[in-house]
Structure 1
Amino acid sequence: MFCPLAAIFAANTLGGFTPTELAAQQRTIQAARAHEEITIDGHPDEAVWKRAELHDDFVMRSPELGGAPPSRTTLRVAYDDLALYVLVEANMDPDEVVLRTLRRDAFAIFSDDAVSVKIDPRRDLRTALIFSTNASGTQLEIMSLDDGRVNMPQWDAVWDVEVWRHDRGYTVEYRLPFAILGVDAEGDGDMGLNISRDHQAANATYDWRLILPPRRPTSASAFGVIEGIHGILAARALEITPYVAGYTDFSPSFTVDPRRRPNASVGGDLRAQVGKSSYVEASVLTDFAQVEADEVQVARDRFPLFFPERRPFFINGLDTFNFGRPGEAQLFFSRRIGLRDGRAIPVAAGVKAYGRSPKLVYGVLNVQTLRSIAEPPQDETEDPEVDIPAENFSVGRIAWRPTPRTSVGVLALGKHRFGDPDEAVFSGGADLDITAAGGKLRWYNFFAQTFDREPDEVVETTPTSTLTRRSRSKLGRTAASNFTYDGLYLRPAVDFTWSDTRFSAPLGFYRRPGTASHGARFFVAPRPRALGLQELLIGPFGRVVTSPDYTERLTADGGARFEARWRSSWLASYNLRAKDDRVDDAFELYGYTVDARRYQGTSHAFRVRSPSRFALGGELNYEYGQLFAGKMHQIRGRIVAKFNKHASLAGSYTHLVGHLGRPEANAFSFGFANGTLNLALNRNVAWDTSLRLNLDPSEPTMAVQSRFRWRYRRGSDIFLVYTTSQPVGTALPDATIEPFHAIAVKATYYFQARLGG
């Protein structure tokens, strides 16, 4: 009897390579010592490039996994006392080079002809620094944590790259200072390395060491090795970046008091290498005026939304403090510092020390905020803000790594208000992280406790007095275990997260504390050759959430996923989900009350995405299903238009329509949008304008952030930022939305020196 599924599996020949053979392709390259100065211009004129070992055995990752690239790519590596140098030549028809962006830090680079140098500086098989450029030399750097599971494009580093365009294609020459890589000045200099090339005319991606799906492109455990680096200068880098800034919200006042939003301010950042792979960073009167605004998200449930960290000071060394499941169950979440309900809290100073030895990883963070003095209301209708007291935050982390794939660590953190011990909170925990099977298998576990205080409780109120029960301390506990296997064909996962009813994660992020959550999936990923397909992803998933004592079932949902990827890079997917959910406490959603009771229903979700290489592309999503007692339709469209290398537009709009039980009484229909227009005069001058539109009736607003950035010298910038937020549409009667305008200007100056050596 004919079995279609068996036929699909039988079709997987992978160009004559088995998955085991592909995964076993270890790559090692010797770095050549440079005895002369290397000029970064894209031209391989220096003698060291003639002596350097040349590799041209790149392998196609997409569309033909393990196939031979149609165009040659060569790699050479060199070093001197202070930096690592990488030379990549990409051969192709020069008339076919695709170049559509000049804007720094833009992911649109990966839709151009581009090269990415990926470094695992300490070969910990977990952390990678990614340096990407397109055929014009536009730069993008990314810090990748947790073997590619967490990527931080907000990380900023000072490095150099230039491109030479010629009749064979283009050549890319990198200079990556050891100071930003954190490489030991003595001892074993081996580092993890991978090179990826995006070749748009062939709709292809090539790797120096092949990264097997579903491994992420930034998975450090899939890198090759650079050998031969030794005897580099034992000098330590000192980086200082002072700033001056001006600000106005057009109110008739002027202040330099940092406890308010000052109209004029000065401050700065410092980073010093104090030992082998050990660093200290400090920031005084930290300013985040240039940080990109968060995108609009609208909740469809009663649980908190997760917004990623974007502030530079908190990103460097973030891998050291990583603890828990990002976006789901984190004991430490850096956005708890200096932000409260969207309001920025002034940071007086922060200091961070982090580093590692062959077996240990360690880090300490301390931040002192200032008292945030509330601005007086503009008129009698505006609700007054309240002052927020100064607070001190401390975090400590140490992890022992007996092998490169095993880590045992502890984390401790706390918040304290001087003179107010009742506001002190503490958390601490231990974790175990084990990877195997070349990084495809991961088992992560943690246990933690938190010490917090319950708020004061009003027990009785009379016309003459109020009886209040003082806050009481509470000790909460949490534990988690997560097992995943990301194989080429099989991708099972099982996870468990538990926390008791007294757990609150005051300095972390927990989506659903006080529950026991159990999830599982089993996806199968055949790779047929029929119909132009590259990969299918098929399988069930499910989750059950109970009370922490397992006496009550709170939520149960499950379903199936079907996804198809074509060799042309088109993608389509369908998800079916059934859900049984108990709401314990009534809550407000879109201006209506969702009652406390049990709800059941199903949902269907469809998705289609075009290839990113198109000058005009996008994505379309549609979902239909139950929303508590009612029905919901959600449609989301995203479009990316790359007009030329100087201008591009990316935006999305999501519209929700439905009701929460009775169409005639509690219907809703609204949308929200996120969009950005990018203009780049050249690689150093850019202007981007972002739109954030939220038509949720509880807070209908339109916000615009327009940022001009001029990198006037290496590592030094001038920013001009205009921000406005305006009420739009019809708000609920109790909504308070005040119009807002502000302009900020900020200038930084980057200074680097070497200590010793």
Structure 2
Amino acid sequence: MDIKLGLRSNLVANLTGNTDFANADVDTQQFNLTPYKLFFPEKRQFFLENAGVFNFPLAGSSDLLFFSRQIGIDPITGQEVPINGGAKITGSLDGFELGLMDVDTRSSGPNPYANYAVLRVKRSLPGGSYIGVMGIDKRSGSRTDPFNQTGGVDTRLVFFKNLIFSAYAAQTRTPGLSGGQTNLGAVLNYQSNWLDLYQEHRKIGRHFNPEVGFLERTDCLCDYLDANFKVRPKMRRLRELNFEGFFFHAPDTHGVLQTQEWQGAFRAIFHNGSYSDDDIADVFTQRITDPFNIYKNLVIPNGLYHWTRHQLAYGSPQDRRLQVQLFERFGTYYNGHLNEARVRATYRAKERLSFSFSQQWNRFRLALPGGNFSVVVGSFQTNYSFSRFLSISTLLQMDTANTQAASANIRLRWNYRPDSDLYVIYTAGQRFASLVAASPAQFTENRFAVKWTYSWSP
């Protein structure tokens, strides 16, 4: 059951009980080529509505102090964890942007019961600037991890409309951990017609542990610098040329290099929306401190690795019925070689009918026993509208790295009145992806569901 109440003209309350997310979009399957986590966006409606109020970015990366997917989904297997109930209030009050959330989940498998409380407050400043605070409190039935608390302050200051300074400071509290539980960062971003500059510095403590957030890595002194020169020649079909380069340097807090990457790229953008995007060189250094399980029983051992790769990419015009994107990346990879080839295509046959196709081939040649192998990840999606109110969508996916290589999601939606729907959904395979590094076993299911929603105004 879901209830939405307008408390004031700009303040809304959402209530949910025994929540079912059968109608949520399934995750697009990916194969992880790194020893770090992959980011998958939130898909569930209760958490999506006014989600921007709770946004607390940790610099320019995908890292977030609060990530709602940590609530109600097992982060290791992707299995849904039942939600007893939840409530949130979002909007503005007396010049402040306010977000308040409380969600209770019950015990399921290895996941004990837990309660999540979140508070986010922001004060708008002139010119699009703001200053804000956030607090997160997680309590669970785990004997070894009964609580986790996170707090932070952040600001965004806009100068001269094209110069933006952002900064944050955050800290966590976790039983059994002491010291190194802070995360500090600052970003300077400059944008003009001919030049974009971006500089970021972060200091992430070894024990910084936001259990209700998303964090790719810890124990890092991360520096990132990006410069993009933009040229607009007076040529008939060419709109813009980009010459871009970035440098990423990430030692740990003791100064030992963990990751380093620098890249030079050339990009051409045309008036019809087509583009080419070519990496002249992408030079990588990566230290493995825990054996990296890249595929099934294949493990890349500890050590310091260096490799170089190159990229060619093309996107077709955006105003055509058929749109195609081609991608090829090749070069060395850890102690061997890797070729990545991707094809994405969208075809709008009619106003009511569209098809989407994507395929990625990863061809590995590693200096390990069984190191010559391939992984194929692909999807095929169709969308058809019988009318403005009745539609059906199908999504078929394949990942040969998974035990169950194929999955399917079929969804029929009837919007029989404003904000009221009837869903008929069938899912076979994976719904939500894992949020941990490497490639753990994913939870799969065969599920048929019917969901009816009805909304009214008192």
Same fold (TM over 0.5): yes
Structure 1 partner of 2:66? 332
The amino acid that maps onto 2:152 is G
Structure 1 partner of 2:85? 349
- Return closer, same or farther for 1:387/1:578 CA change in 2, 3 Å cut-off: closer
- Return closer, same or farther for 1:280/1:717 CA change in 2, 3 Å cut-off: same
Q: Tell me how far apart the structure 2 counterparts of residues 406 and 571 of structure 1 sit (CA, whole Å).
A: 33
The Cα shift of 1:737 comes to: 7.8
User: Which of 43, 47, 50 is 1:314 aligned to?
Assistant: 47
Q: TM-score, normalised by structure 1?
A: 0.57
1:659 is paired with a residue of what secondary structure?
Answer: strand
Contact 2:180 2:205 in 1 (8 A): no
Deviations 1:392-418 (A, max 9, x none): 000011122242422111100011026
The Cα shift of 1:292 comes to: 0.8
Deviations 1:220-243 (A, max 9, x none): xxxxxxxxxxxxxxxxxxxxxxxx
Contact 2:79 2:443 in 1 (8 A): no
Structure 2 partner of 1:361? 97
User: Is the counterpart of residue 594 in structure 1 residue 316 in structure 2?
Assistant: no
1:530 is paired with a residue of what secondary structure?
Answer: coil
Question: What are structure 2's unaligned runs of at least 5 residues?
Answer: 431-438
Structure 2 partner of 1:286? 19
User: Who wins on radius of gyration, i.e. which is larger?
Assistant: 1
The Cα shift of 1:685 comes to: 0.6
Q: Tell me how far apart the structure 2 counterparts of residues 333 and 702 of structure 1 sit (CA, whole Å).
A: 28
Report the identity percentage: 23
Q: Tell me how far apart the structure 2 counterparts of residues 437 and 714 of structure 1 sit (CA, whole Å).
A: 43
- Return closer, same or farther for 1:484/1:416 CA change in 2, 3 Å cut-off: same
- Return closer, same or farther for 1:270/1:404 CA change in 2, 3 Å cut-off: farther
Q: Tell me how far apart the structure 2 counterparts of residues 700 and 485 of structure 1 sit (CA, whole Å).
A: 46
Q: Tell me how far apart the structure 1 counterparts of residues 275 and 440 of structure 2 sit (CA, whole Å).
A: 41
User: Which of 387, 405, 429 is 2:152 aligned to?
Assistant: 429
The Cα shift of 1:329 comes to: 2.0
User: Which of 173, 194, 197 is 1:451 aligned to?
Assistant: 173
- Return closer, same or farther for 1:714/1:331 CA change in 2, 3 Å cut-off: same
- Return closer, same or farther for 1:534/1:746 CA change in 2, 3 Å cut-off: same
Contact 1:451 1:475 in 2 (8 A): no
Contact 2:53 2:97 in 1 (8 A): yes
- Return closer, same or farther for 1:597/1:421 CA change in 2, 3 Å cut-off: closer
User: Is the counterpart of residue 401 in structure 1 residue 124 in structure 2?
Assistant: yes
Contact 2:420 2:453 in 1 (8 A): yes
The amino acid that maps onto 1:329 is D
The Cα shift of 1:699 comes to: 3.5
The amino acid that maps onto 1:479 is L
Structure 1 partner of 2:373? 668
User: Is the counterpart of residue 637 in structure 1 residue 343 in structure 2?
Assistant: yes
Contact 1:283 1:351 in 2 (8 A): yes
**1:520-559 alignment, distance < 5 Å:** 520-530=225-235, 532-549=237-254, 551-559=255-263
The Cα shift of 1:475 comes to: 6.1
Q: Tell me how far apart the structure 2 counterparts of residues 477 and 553 of structure 1 sit (CA, whole Å).
A: 20
Contact 1:705 1:724 in 2 (8 A): yes
The amino acid that maps onto 1:690 is L
More moved, 391-400 vs 318-327: 318-327
More moved, 278-287 vs 615-624: 278-287
Q: Tell me how far apart the structure 2 counterparts of residues 628 and 689 of structure 1 sit (CA, whole Å).
A: 37
Give 1 or 2: higher strand fraction.
Answer: 2
The amino acid that maps onto 1:314 is F
Q: TM-score, normalised by structure 2?
A: 0.92
**1:380-391 alignment, distance < 5 Å:** 386-391=109-114
Structure 1 partner of 2:355? 649
- Return closer, same or farther for 1:515/1:351 CA change in 2, 3 Å cut-off: same
Deviations 1:12-71 (A, max 9, x none): xxxxxxxxxxxxxxxxxxxxxxxxxxxxxxxxxxxxxxxxxxxxxxxxxxxxxxxxxxxx
- Return closer, same or farther for 1:276/1:748 CA change in 2, 3 Å cut-off: closer
The Cα shift of 1:426 comes to: 0.3
Deviations 1:226-270 (A, max 9, x none): xxxxxxxxxxxxxxxxxxxxxxxxxxxxxxxxxxxxxxxxxx212
Contact 1:369 1:390 in 2 (8 A): yes
Q: Tell me how far apart the structure 1 counterparts of residues 241 and 195 of structure 2 sit (CA, whole Å).
A: 11
**1:572-611 alignment, distance < 5 Å:** 572-575=276-279, 576-591=281-296, 592-611=298-317
The Cα shift of 1:741 comes to: 2.2
Q: Tell me how far apart the structure 2 counterparts of residues 330 and 735 of structure 1 sit (CA, whole Å).
A: 22
Deviations 1:342-395 (A, max 9, x none): 0101111111112224632222110011222xxxxxxxxxxxxx3532110000
The Cα shift of 1:324 comes to: 1.6
User: Which of 252, 259, 265 is 1:561 aligned to?
Assistant: 265
**1:155-174 alignment, distance < 5 Å:** none
- Return closer, same or farther for 1:668/1:746 CA change in 2, 3 Å cut-off: same
Contact 2:169 2:184 in 1 (8 A): yes
Q: Tell me how far apart the structure 2 counterparts of residues 558 and 739 of structure 1 sit (CA, whole Å).
A: 38
Structure 2 partner of 1:688? 393
Count of residues in correspondence between the two structures: 445
Contact 2:198 2:226 in 1 (8 A): yes
Q: Tell me how far apart the structure 2 counterparts of residues 749 and 387 of structure 1 sit (CA, whole Å).
A: 34
**1:40-189 alignment, distance < 5 Å:** none
Structure 1 partner of 2:421? 717
2:46 is paired with a residue of what secondary structure?
Answer: helix
**1:693-712 alignment, distance < 5 Å:** 693-696=398-401, 699-712=403-416
Deviations 1:506-528 (A, max 9, x none): 11111111211100011111111
Q: Tell me how far apart the structure 2 counterparts of residues 323 and 740 of structure 1 sit (CA, whole Å).
A: 33
Contact 1:451 1:474 in 2 (8 A): no
Structure 2 partner of 1:507? 212
Structure 1 partner of 2:436? none
The amino acid that maps onto 1:614 is R
- Return closer, same or farther for 1:582/1:421 CA change in 2, 3 Å cut-off: closer
User: Which of 287, 305, 325 is 2:38 aligned to?
Assistant: 305
1:320 is paired with a residue of what secondary structure?
Answer: helix
- Return closer, same or farther for 1:368/1:739 CA change in 2, 3 Å cut-off: closer
The amino acid that maps onto 1:286 is T
Q: Tell me how far apart the structure 1 counterparts of residues 205 and 25 of structure 2 sit (CA, whole Å).
A: 36
- Return closer, same or farther for 1:422/1:519 CA change in 2, 3 Å cut-off: closer
The amino acid that maps onto 1:309 is E
Structure 2 partner of 1:747? 452
